[in-house]
Amino acid sequence: MSDLFLGIIAVAVLTMAAVQVAAIVFALRAARRVDEAVSRFERTVEPIVVNLQTMTAEAARATGIAAAQMERATRMMTDITRRVDDTAAAVQASIVGPAREGYAIFQGILAALAALRPGAAATAKRPATADEEDALFIG
């Protein structure tokens, strides 16, 4: 009977060893397949990653160029605004000043003619009020 138990134990150990060897072989095959799949995936994804890196570099370059263009446009608009302001001030100084002087001379001539005319005191115009002077102000 003890030989029978020893035989059963030997068969069980042999079966377990066979199952373990089969499991190891199966695990090695599965690992090889996973390795191949990962290698194929890396080969497939590598061009995509390279393209993304290229696109990122191009986007960074385009952003730099756009920022430089915006800075240049801002400087140009500032210069144009300053020149328009300078031109407006020059026009105002060259036109408004002489216009006021011309108007003052004209008013002086009218007053002199009115004073020289007989009966000027009776027909003299009443003096202009502050509201009327504000309405005549140029500038």
Numbers of helices and strands, H then E, in the chain: 3, 0
* Per-residue pLDDT at 129: 65
Give how far Cα 68 sits from Cα of 57, 60, 64, 75, 80, Å.
17, 12, 6, 11, 18
- Cβ–Cβ under 8 Å, residues 138 and 99: yes
Lowest mean pLDDT among 17-26, 84-93, 110-119: 110-119
- Cβ–Cβ under 8 Å, residues 114 and 76: no
pTM for the full predicted model: 0.43
| pLDDT classification of 130: cutoffs 50, 70, 90 | low
pLDDT for residue 105 is more than 60: yes
* Per-residue pLDDT at 24: 96
Q: CA 82, CA 87: separation in Å to the nearest integer?
A: 9
- Cβ–Cβ under 8 Å, residues 139 and 92: yes
> What is the overall mean pLDDT for the chain?
86
